[in-house]
Amino acid sequence: MKREVFLAIAALVLAGAAHAAEVMEFPASKGKVIFPHKKHQEMLRDCTKCHEKGPGKIADLGQKWAHKTCRGCHQELGRGPTACTGCHHKD
Ligand code: HEC
Ligand code: HEC
Ligand code: HEC
């Protein structure tokens, strides 16, 4: 019985973690950025577009990296938001 309760909680925690990674949120004074990670993974397929040093945390993540990498690609492809308010959401 106890074990079943533990497993149910573990499943909920894991489901929450998996969900959190699908869409990421980065705080910014301009307004938080909501980044659909999973959508980009499936759409771009190439992890190295953002993970030059392999999947995981990105040490350079910040304004300079994001505007060059994220906004840069959107500008280059003519797809995805390039206006400030396309990425930065005030709530
Ligand atoms: C369009 C950019 C982009 C692409 C493409 C991308 N990622 Fe990410 N990924 C990110 C960003 C941004 C983070 C957050 C990094 C941080 O918090 O330091 C991240 C985080 C991660 C993390 C850490 C997750 C966590 O919760 O801490 C993993 C693992 C990961 N990505 C794997 C992948 C794999 C595998 C692929 C290819 C199938 C991929 N990513 C493609 C941008 C991208
Ligand atoms: C290598 C190219 C590339 C990179 C890098 C990239 N994106 Fe995108 N992004 C796209 C494309 C292409 C679309 C358009 C998808 C569509 O039209 O459905 C898009 C769409 C989006 C959208 C709109 C999503 C939606 O559901 O309409 C957001 C928000 C976004 N990107 C944020 C980011 C952020 C934040 C980063 C950096 C962490 C990033 N992107 C990096 C190519 C890229
Ligand atoms: C493609 C998405 C995207 C677009 C378009 C974009 N940004 Fe950003 N911006 C980001 C991301 C991602 C970060 C990094 C957030 C972090 O590291 O927490 C960021 C960081 C910032 C920061 C520094 C962090 C902070 O505390 O605010 C400022 C300022 C900023 N952006 C302003 C702008 C302005 C002004 C524009 C329009 C000219 C703009 N951004 C357009 C995604 C974008």
The predicted-structure confidence for 17-48, as pLDDT tens digits, reads as follows: 444 469 999 999 999 999 999 999 999 999 99
Residue 11 has a pLDDT of 53
Residue 91 has a pLDDT of 78
Residue 26 has a pLDDT of 96
Interior CA angle at 21 toward 27 and 17, to 5°? 110
**Band of pLDDT at residue 3, cut at 50, 70 and 90:** low
What CA–CA distance (Å, rounded) separates 78 from 17? 32
Q: Which ligand is nearest to the CA of 67?
A: 3
Work out which ligand 1 atom sits closest to the CA atom of 73. Answer: 1
Q: Is the CB of 69 under 6 A from ligand 2?
A: yes
| 43 Cα to the center of ligand 1, angstroms | 13
Structure-token pair, residue 20: 């959190």
- Per-residue pLDDT at 52 exceeds 90: yes
How many Cβ atoms from other residues are within 10 Å of residue 65's Cβ? 14
What CA–CA distance (Å, rounded) separates 10 from 54? 28
| 87 Cα to the center of ligand 2, angstroms | 9
Residue 1 has a pLDDT of 54
Nearest CA to ligand 2 atom 22: 80
pLDDT digits (tens, 9 = 90+) for 54-72: 999 999 999 999 999 999 9
What CA–CA distance (Å, rounded) separates 12 from 6? 10
Cβ neighbors of 61 (< 8 A, separation 6 or more) are 26
